[in-house]
Amino acid sequence: MGPMPARTLAQKLWDSHVVRTGDAGAEPDLLYVDLHLVHEVTSPQAFEGLRMTGRHVRRPDLTVATMDHNVPTRGGVRAADELSRKQMEVLAENCEREGIPLHQIGSRRQGIVHIIGPELGLTQPGMVIVCGDSHTSTHGAFCALAFGIGTSEVELVLATQCLPQRRPGDLAVNVDGELPIGVTAKDIALGLIGRAGTSGGVGHLVEYRGSTVRGLSMEGRMTLCNMSIEWGAKAGMVEPDDTTFKYMERRPYVPRGSAWEAALDYWRSLPTDANATFDHEIELDAAQLSPFVTWGTNPGQVVPITGRVPNPRSDTDERALRYMDLKPGTAMADIAIDRVFIGSCTNARIEDLRAAARIIHGRHVHPQVRALVVPGSTTVKRAAEDEGLDLVFKAAGFEWRNAGCSMCLGMNPDILAPGERCASTSNRNFEGRQGAGGRTHLVSPPMAAAAAITGHLVDVRELV
Amino acid sequence: MMPLDRADVDTDQIIPKQFLKRIERTGYGPFLFYDWRQQRDFVLNRPEHEGAAVLVAGANFGCGSSREHATWAIRDAGFRAVIAPSFGDIFRANSFKTGIPAVSLTESQVRHLIDLAGEDPTAVIEIDLEAQEVRGEGFGYRFEIDPFVRECLLKGLDEIGLVEHHATAIADYESHRLEWLPAVK
Ligand code: SF4
């Protein structure tokens, strides 16, 4: 046998999960799924489909469910509206019947699906992970091939633990250099989307590489991978290294003892081979990045905080300006805000809360602003309280809530009123995303914290 | 044809979140483009386009959230196909599962269809999956489609059944998985 051709990590992950190679283009490859994450919103019709066809979940031991989108972040399940409650009940019934472990509202490990996977050590390098949710790309930070699927595919995976897939292209994003002060992983993502456009990644598996990415914490890598879908990528991944292994050590589901050693050997074989090639590459100079903020209604409509609302270059831009009620030429830092949301699967991990708390410490939320901190999971909430972060936020006038998706999409009681303007650490500024008529400006946690204090969008570097 | 001359239409617009709380697979039609429909002159409200069976839209249609409710809503509102220069990946996959082919044409071909639908709301086009062609009076535009997807659409194949057919290969794969991989029992 000749030497193995050089492969990207995406190719290695793909190859190791092919149950059956598709025949000469007529059929896609059949991939095996190592972990299927389930939440209340995109699963009821899939379980119903199984029931109607007399099927059952093939691998309940490789399936984990949580409640996140609908959960009220205060007042418990009783605070939910009737339809939300029903959806949560249906998930509980489905999990009960099929033997799927469920992290219910109010339980110790409940949280946003993409936060609890890594936190529990369920997310590991080399795995294929799917979920009926587009931000499944988050798990790619651990070098998992992780992507979102629709409800019909959820049903297919529940029934067979497999998914027919065509191999997407390989795209490398090389980020090199030192991040300037005040610039975070969120700003790398926003800067990248501004550059590549909202469909720049479509049809590709992205590998984030380079010295800047290697220097990011796992939290930062998760933020970066989380937003892969915002520029259309199928998945985003980072090679595993000591930062990865250190984060994973001793989490509940990671292997122990000799299995840990064996796993480490395997994980160390995953990075892209030295002479492997990508279909496309994008270069980003970290030193050129600054804290970014979106002005429009998609994440590609973004400028540095020191910039101004741009002149419209398309119908889409014009519509966005109207919706956001902004005039070209306005300095971003002159835009007053009503609400601040620190939360979501993009930026509600412990490091995000620490970064926001550092800005807030000893200061007070502007009287015109209502500000909310929503930890991404119950575990994050506990950790933050152990460090006293909750006290910092509360003393400053922030509301401190229970874990959930909260105002990222407002399927629960946390929503913007029409016309309200919000600095948000979430990932989507689509029209109405945080509430019909609400206006969203995407920023990093320190930027959101700074906006809460000053009452307008502001360069966080002025406050540090 | 229903001409929706907008790019980057995300699934939050196609079906806003408040309608994702239903646990059924049908009944989403009235909520399609719910927020935009509040404006009287929005194209879906115009009587001349009533009964349109093909939605024609700008690039990157269906980006964003994975909600299959978006394709259910399009189907329930009476559409049988969507044409755009490009689509979000998950939306495209969902549209095929829902039996609503997402057909990619070039920017200029889509522009032609949008203009045509605007000028003549009664203009009729035909989407021929077998021949992979969109046809109208005086034009025929070829499109590419995954051959497997095309088969499934044409024959109405049950994909779960097809995968179950490979039970031996699946069981064989399972017997070789790395033993330290996490399981939750
Ligand atoms: S936090 Fe927002 S983006 Fe993340 S899973 Fe929840 S709703 Fe989706």
- Check pocket membership of A379 for ligand 1, CB cut-off 6 A: no
- Check pocket membership of A112 for ligand 1, CB cut-off 6 A: yes
- Check pocket membership of A344 for ligand 1, CB cut-off 6 A: yes
pLDDT band at A24 (very low <50, low <70, confident <90, very high): low
Residue of A69, A131, A229 to mutate, ligand 1, most atoms within 8 A of C-beta: A69
Does A1 have pLDDT greater than 70? no
Q: Which of residues 123-152 of A touch B (CB under 8 A)?
A: 124, 126-127, 132-134, 148-152
Residue A162 in contact with residue A33, Cβ under 8 Å? yes
Residue A384 in contact with residue A360, Cβ under 8 Å? no
Find the closest chain A residue to B94 by CA distance. Answer: A150
List the single residue in B13, B69, B89 with the smallest CB-CB distance to A232: B89
pLDDT at B40: 93
Q: Which of residues 91-130 of B touch A (CB under 8 A)?
A: 93-94, 97-98
**H/E segment holding residue B96:** helix B89-97
- Across the range A99-108, mean pLDDT stands at 95
Does B100 have pLDDT greater than 70? yes
Residue A367 sits at the vertex; the CA angle it makes with A366 and A372, to the nearest 5 degrees, is 65
What would the pLDDT profile of A229-287 be if each residue is shown by its tens digit? 999 999 999 999 999 999 999 999 999 999 999 999 999 999 999 999 999 999 999 99
Chain B contact for A44 (CB, 8 A cutoff): yes
- Across the range A13-19, mean pLDDT stands at 98
Q: Do A153 and B97 touch (CB under 8 A)?
A: yes
Three-class SS string for chain A?
A: CCCCCCCCHHHHHHHCCEEECCCCCCCCEEEECCEEEEECCCCHHHHHHHHHCCCCCCCHHHEEEECCCCCCCCCCHHHCCHHHHHHHHHHHHHHHHHCCCEECCCCCCCECHHHHHHHCCCCCCCCEEEECCHHHHHHHHHCCEEEECCHHHHHHHHHHCEEEECCCEEEEEEEECCCCCCCCHHHHHHHHHHHHCCCCCECEEEEEECHHHHCCCHHHHHHHHHHHHHHCECEEECCCCHHHHHHHCCCCCCCCHHHHHHHHHHHCCCCCCCCCCCCEEEEEEHHHCCCEEECCCCCCCEEECCCECCCCCCHHHHHHHHHHCCCCCCEHHHCECCEEEECCCCCCCHHHHHHHHHHHCCCCCCCCCEEEECCCEHHHHHHHHHHCHHHHHHHHCCEECCCCCHHHCCCCCCCCCCCCEEEECCCCCCCCCCCCCCEEEECCHHHHHHHHHHCECCCHHHCC
- Across the range A188-213, mean pLDDT stands at 97
pLDDT at A26: 81
pLDDT at A410: 84
Q: Do B21 and A83 touch (CB under 8 A)?
A: yes
How many angstroms is it from A329 CA to the middle of ligand 1?
32
Does A42 have pLDDT greater than 60? yes
Distance CA A75, CA A121 (A): 29
CB pairs under 8 A between A and B: 192
Q: Which of residues 43-82 of B touch A (CB under 8 A)?
A: 58-60, 63-69, 71
pLDDT band at A4 (very low <50, low <70, confident <90, very high): confident
- Across the range A399-426, mean pLDDT stands at 96
For chain A, the C-alpha Rg in angstroms (whole number) is 21
What would the pLDDT profile of B131-173 be if each residue is shown by its tens digit? 999 999 999 999 999 999 999 999 988 899 999 999 999 999 9
Residue nearest atom 4 of ligand 1, based on CA coordinates: A345
How many angstroms is it from A415 CA to the middle of ligand 1?
14
pLDDT at A2: 61
Residue A121 in contact with residue B182, Cβ under 8 Å? yes
| Percentage of the residues of chain A whose pLDDT score is greater than 70 | 99
Question: What domains appear along chain B, each with residue ranges and CATH number?
Answer: 2-145 (3.20.19.10), 156-185 (no CATH)
Number of alpha helices (DSSP H) and beta strands (DSSP E) in chain B: 7, 7
pTM over 0.95: yes
Does B109 have pLDDT greater than 90? yes
List the single residue in A20, A198, A232 with the smallest CB-CB distance to B166: A20
- Across the range A171-184, mean pLDDT stands at 98
- Across the range A75-104, mean pLDDT stands at 95
Torsion A347-A351-A353-A355 (CA) sign: negative
Residue of A115, A135, A230 to mutate, ligand 1, most atoms within 8 A of C-beta: A135
Does A23 have pLDDT greater than 80? no
- Check pocket membership of A405 for ligand 1, CB cut-off 6 A: yes
Tell me whether 0.90 is exceeded by the ipTM. yes
What would the pLDDT profile of B2-60 be if each residue is shown by its tens digit? 999 999 999 999 999 999 999 999 999 999 999 999 999 999 999 999 999 999 999 99
Tell me which amino acid residue A354 is: R
Distance CA A322, CA A218 (A): 38
**H/E segment holding residue B150:** helix B147-155
- Across the range A449-455, mean pLDDT stands at 98
- Check pocket membership of A67 for ligand 1, CB cut-off 6 A: no
Residue A401 in contact with residue A374, Cβ under 8 Å? yes
